[in-house]
Amino acid sequence: KAGVTQTPRYLIKTRGQQVTLSCSPISGHRSVSWYQQTPGQGLQFLFEYFSETQRNKGNFPGRFSGRQFSNSRSEMNVSTLELGDSALYLCASSPPNSYEQYFGPGTRLTVT
Amino acid sequence: AQKITQTQPGMFVQEKEAVTLDCTYDTSDQSYGLFWYKQPSSGEMIFLIYQGSYDEQNATEGRYSLNFQKARKSANLVISASQLGDSAMYFCAMREGRKTSGSRLTFGEGTQLTVNP
């Protein structure tokens, strides 16, 4: 079974631009979560989607948004990028009725 | 207050020896789960082991075992027979609430493990 895939793997953007990251979960997994990892703040939960609905949300500004499609693929969008948004963005999927979460390789975003 | 505390920023161990990575947690939920993940320099988070709050036996997965002490709110990871490939950052994480409440994980700050030949 293929693992969680994230595209693109690396991205360089300029302050003020917007960016869209994509995550394809493991087949059969309907829950997709997003996390931001920075050296200063560590790993922080952004949001979780389940069956196309946002089920949980972390403490991030409204510039961070996401959505999930009927095939469980998810996208997250960051508008009006700031230098502090430079981070590794990790996506994780969970199988039904399980606590386990499986992570993708991440998208490393650099904002200049 | 920190929900997950990993007090060892860095640990060193000789190849083939065992090592314990510490993790304490704080929650008022009765139902929760504890995880350990490994993150090599490539960045991917690799799931190692899981312990549910109602599990009476300590979880084991190959060379990994989780020393779960509920009363002390600790969930230490034990790696037996360390290998050079075990050198990585290790994160302890917690998921609170029942499965239907979602999959939000809270992570500790991590422990950088270095295995010396």
- pLDDT of amino acid A2: 79
Smallest CA–CA separation between B67 and chain A, in Å?
A: 18
Query: Above 70 in pLDDT, residue A81?
Result: yes
What is the Cα–Cα distance from A31 to A55, expressed in whole angstroms?
A: 9
Mean pLDDT across A5-18 = 97
Q: Is the pLDDT of residue B2 over 70?
A: no
Q: What is the mean pLDDT of residues A54-72?
A: 95
Average pLDDT for chain A: 94
Has residue A9 got a pLDDT over 70? yes
A90 touches B at CB < 8 Å:
yes
Distance from CA of B59 to the nearest CA of A (A): 13
Lowest mean pLDDT among A99-103, B34-38, B82-86: A99-103
Q: Answer whether A103 sits within 8 Å of B37, measured CB to CB.
A: yes
Question: Hey, is B58 helix, strand or coil?
Answer: coil
pLDDT of residue B102: 74
CA angle A83-A85-A86, nearest 5°?
A: 80
Q: Does A102 touch chain B (CB under 8 A)?
A: yes
Nearest by CB: B103 against A42, A101, A105: A101
Question: Is some CB atom of chain B closer than 8 A to the CB atom of A45?
Answer: yes
Q: Please state the rounded mean pLDDT for residues B55-76.
A: 94
Q: How many CA atoms lie within 13 A of B16 on its CB side?
A: 1
pLDDT, position A1? 67
The whole-angstrom separation of Cα B31 and Cα B63 is: 26
Are B50 and A99 within 8 A, CB to CB? Answer: yes
